[in-house]
Structure 1
Amino acid sequence: MELLKPRVSQAEIKSAYPLANIFNNVEKPFLFIGLIVMIFIINYQTFFRYGISTLLELIATPGFERMFGHWLDTEALRVRVKSAVGWGVWTEELARYIFIWISYLAVSLSILNRGGIRVDVLHNRLSAHWQNILWVMIDFCTLILVCLFAYMGLDYVRMQLEMPQTTPALQIGYYIPYLILPVGFGLMGIRTLQALWRQSRGMTLPSVAMGMALSVLLFLPVMLSDDWSASLLLFGYFTLFLVLGVPIAFALGLAGLTTVLGAGTLPVDYLAQIAFSSIDSFPIMAIPFFIAAGVFMGAGGLSRRLLALGDELVGALPGGMALASIMTCIFFASISGSGPATVAAIGSITIPAMIARGYDKYFAATIVACAGAIGVIIPPSNPFVVYGVSAQVSIGKLFIAGIIPGLIMGAALMLVAYLISRKNGWHGEIRERSLKTFMCAAWQAKWALMVPVIVLGGIYGGIMTPTEAAAVAALYGLIVGLFVHRELSLSSLWGASQEAANISSIIIVLMAMATIFGNIMTIEQIPEIIAEAILALTSSKLIILIMINIFLLWIGIFMEALAAIVILTPILLPLVTAVGVNPVHFGVIMVMNLAIGFITPPVGVNLFVASGIANVSIGGLAKAVWVYLLVMIAVLLMITYLPEISLLLL
Structure 2
Amino acid sequence: MESAPKHKVLDWLNDNFESIFLVIGLISIILFITWQVIYRYVITQFIERAGAAVWTEELSRYIFIWISYLAVSVAIRKRSSIRVDILYDKLPKRWQDISWIVVESLFFCLTAVIAWYGWGQIERLLRFPQLTTALRIPFLIPYLILPLGFGLMCLRLIQRLWAQVRVCGLKDSCIGFAIVVIICAPCFIFEYIPPLTALFGYFVVLCAIGVPIAICLGLSTLATIISADTLPIEYMAQISFTSIDNFPIMAIPFFIAAGVFMGAGGLSNRLLKLADEIVGGLYGGMGLTAIVTCMFFGAISGSGPATVAAIGALTIPAMVERGYDKYFSCALVAAAGCVGVMIPPSNPFVVYGVAAQVSIGDLFMGGIVPGILTGLVLMAYCYYYSRARNWRGQEKKRDMATFGHAFWDAKWALMVPVIVLGGIYGGIMTPTEAAAVSAFYGLIVGLFLYREMSFKGMCAACVEACETSSVIILLMAMATLFGNIMTLEDVPGTIARTILSVTNSKILVLLLINILLLIVGTFMEALAAIVILAPILLPVVTNVGVSPLHFGIIMVVNLAIGFITPPVGVNLFVASGVAKAKLQGIARMALPMIGLMLLVLLVCTYIPEIPLCLVRK
Q: Normalised by the shorter chain, which TM-score bucket? A: over 0.9
Report what 1:384 is aligned to: 349
1:52 touches 1:81 (CA, 8 Å); kept in 2?
A: no
What CA distance in whole angstroms lies between the structure 2 residues aligned with 1:129 and 1:477? 44
Match of 2:293 among 328, 334, 338: 328
Q: Structure 1's 649 and 147: CA in aligned 2 closer, same or farther, altered over 3 A?
A: same
Match of 2:40 among 49, 52, 66: 49
Report what 2:170 is aligned to: 205
Q: Does 1:85 align with 2:51?
A: yes
Structure 1 residue 494 displacement after superposition: 1.2
Structure 1 residue 109 displacement after superposition: 1.3
Report what 1:40 is aligned to: 31
What CA distance in whole angstroms lies between the structure 2 residues aligned with 1:477 and 1:202? 42
Structure 1 residue 471 displacement after superposition: 0.4
Bigger CA radius of gyration: 1
1:52 touches 1:85 (CA, 8 Å); kept in 2?
A: no
**Residues 278-310 of structure 1 deviation map (CA, whole Å, 9 limit, x = unaligned):** 000000000000000000001111111111111
**Residues 294-335 of structure 1 deviation map (CA, whole Å, 9 limit, x = unaligned):** 000011111111111111111110000100110011111111
Structure 1 residue 224 displacement after superposition: 2.5
Structure 1 residue 17 displacement after superposition: 5.7
Q: Does 1:631 align with 2:559?
A: no
Query: 1:124-143, aligned counterparts within 5 Å?
Result: 124-143=89-108
Structure 1 residue 210 displacement after superposition: 1.7
1:330 touches 1:374 (CA, 8 Å); kept in 2?
A: yes
Report what 2:418 is aligned to: 453
Q: Does 1:518 align with 2:483?
A: yes
In structure 2, give the amino acid aligned to 1:144: C
Corresponding residue SS for 1:625: helix
Structure 1 residue 563 displacement after superposition: 0.5
Q: Structure 1's 423 and 16: CA in aligned 2 closer, same or farther, altered over 3 A?
A: farther
Q: Structure 1's 226 and 473: CA in aligned 2 closer, same or farther, altered over 3 A?
A: farther
2:292 touches 2:375 (CA, 8 Å); kept in 1?
A: yes
What CA distance in whole angstroms lies between the structure 1 residues aligned with 2:355 and 2:608? 21
2:304 touches 2:338 (CA, 8 Å); kept in 1?
A: yes
In structure 1, give the amino acid aligned to 2:427: G
Q: Structure 1's 649 and 226: CA in aligned 2 closer, same or farther, altered over 3 A?
A: farther
1:339 touches 1:376 (CA, 8 Å); kept in 2?
A: yes
Q: Does 1:192 align with 2:157?
A: yes
**Residues 501-542 of structure 1 deviation map (CA, whole Å, 9 limit, x = unaligned):** 100000000000000001111111100001001100111111
Report what 1:299 is aligned to: 264
Q: Structure 1's 480 and 17: CA in aligned 2 closer, same or farther, altered over 3 A?
A: closer
Unaligned regions of 5+ residues in structure 1, if any? 1-12, 56-79
Query: 1:585-596, aligned counterparts within 5 Å?
Result: 585-596=550-561
Report what 1:22 is aligned to: 13
In structure 2, give the amino acid aligned to 1:37: S
2:116 touches 2:147 (CA, 8 Å); kept in 1?
A: yes
Q: Structure 1's 137 and 461: CA in aligned 2 closer, same or farther, altered over 3 A?
A: same
Report what 1:547 is aligned to: 512
In structure 1, give the amino acid aligned to 2:133: P
Structure 1 residue 15 displacement after superposition: 11
2:573 touches 2:583 (CA, 8 Å); kept in 1?
A: yes
Identity %: 58
Structure 1 residue 495 displacement after superposition: 1.1
Q: Does 1:341 align with 2:274?
A: no
Corresponding residue SS for 1:616: coil
What CA distance in whole angstroms lies between the structure 2 residues aligned with 1:14 and 1:331? 47
Q: Structure 1's 135 and 14: CA in aligned 2 closer, same or farther, altered over 3 A?
A: farther
1:226 touches 1:264 (CA, 8 Å); kept in 2?
A: no
Q: Does 1:618 align with 2:583?
A: yes
What CA distance in whole angstroms lies between the structure 2 residues aligned with 1:232 and 1:137? 22
Report what 2:146 is aligned to: 181
Report what 1:241 is aligned to: 206
Report what 1:117 is aligned to: 82
Structure 1 residue 358 displacement after superposition: 1.3
What CA distance in whole angstroms lies between the structure 1 residues aligned with 2:5 and 2:341? 38
Report what 1:369 is aligned to: 334
Corresponding residue SS for 1:117: coil
What CA distance in whole angstroms lies between the structure 2 residues aligned with 1:417 and 1:397? 31
**Residues 34-61 of structure 1 deviation map (CA, whole Å, 9 limit, x = unaligned):** 0001100000011111225656xxxxxx
Report what 1:4 is aligned to: none
Report what 1:223 is aligned to: 188
Report what 1:261 is aligned to: 226
What CA distance in whole angstroms lies between the structure 2 residues aligned with 1:140 and 1:428? 53
**Residues 174-209 of structure 1 deviation map (CA, whole Å, 9 limit, x = unaligned):** 010000000000000001101101111022322211
Structure 1 residue 22 displacement after superposition: 2.1
In structure 1, give the amino acid aligned to 2:13: I
Query: 1:68-107, aligned counterparts within 5 Å?
Result: 81-82=48-49, 84-86=50-52, 88-107=53-72
Q: Does 1:575 align with 2:540?
A: yes
* Count of aligned residue pairs for this structure pair: 612
2:260 touches 2:465 (CA, 8 Å); kept in 1?
A: yes
In structure 1, give the amino acid aligned to 2:15: N
Unaligned regions of 5+ residues in structure 2, if any? none
Structure 1 residue 25 displacement after superposition: 2.0
What CA distance in whole angstroms lies between the structure 1 residues aligned with 2:6 and 2:324? 45
Corresponding residue SS for 2:51: helix
What CA distance in whole angstroms lies between the structure 2 residues aligned with 1:649 and 1:127? 51
In structure 1, give the amino acid aligned to 2:41: Y
In structure 1, give the amino acid aligned to 2:22: L
Corresponding residue SS for 2:137: coil
**Residues 363-414 of structure 1 deviation map (CA, whole Å, 9 limit, x = unaligned):** 1111111000000000110000000000000001000001111100100000
1:49 touches 1:85 (CA, 8 Å); kept in 2?
A: no
In structure 2, give the amino acid aligned to 1:581: V
1:226 touches 1:261 (CA, 8 Å); kept in 2?
A: no
In structure 1, give the amino acid aligned to 2:36: Q
Find runs of 4+ consecutive structure 1 residues off by over 6 angstroms: 13-16
What CA distance in whole angstroms lies between the structure 2 residues aligned with 1:296 and 1:512? 26
2:240 touches 2:477 (CA, 8 Å); kept in 1?
A: yes
What CA distance in whole angstroms lies between the structure 2 residues aligned with 1:53 and 1:576? 45
2:284 touches 2:393 (CA, 8 Å); kept in 1?
A: yes
In structure 1, give the amino acid aligned to 2:417: P
2:97 touches 2:167 (CA, 8 Å); kept in 1?
A: no
Is 131-140 or 323-332 further displaced after alignment? 131-140
What CA distance in whole angstroms lies between the structure 2 residues aligned with 1:250 and 1:112? 16
**Residues 75-119 of structure 1 deviation map (CA, whole Å, 9 limit, x = unaligned):** xxxxx723x114x11000000000000000010111121111111
What CA distance in whole angstroms lies between the structure 2 residues aligned with 1:561 and 1:388? 14
What CA distance in whole angstroms lies between the structure 1 residues aligned with 2:191 and 2:294? 52
In structure 2, give the amino acid aligned to 1:566: V
2:308 touches 2:575 (CA, 8 Å); kept in 1?
A: yes
In structure 1, give the amino acid aligned to 2:507: L
In structure 1, give the amino acid aligned to 2:197: L
1:319 touches 1:418 (CA, 8 Å); kept in 2?
A: yes
Q: Does 1:168 align with 2:138?
A: no
What CA distance in whole angstroms lies between the structure 1 residues aligned with 2:6 and 2:470? 30
In structure 2, give the amino acid aligned to 1:584: L
Corresponding residue SS for 1:481: helix
Corresponding residue SS for 2:611: helix
1:233 touches 1:262 (CA, 8 Å); kept in 2?
A: yes
Q: Does 1:310 align with 2:272?
A: no
1:233 touches 1:259 (CA, 8 Å); kept in 2?
A: yes
2:518 touches 2:559 (CA, 8 Å); kept in 1?
A: yes
Corresponding residue SS for 1:31: helix
TM-score after normalising by structure 2: 0.98
Match of 1:475 among 440, 443, 446: 440
Report what 1:146 is aligned to: 111
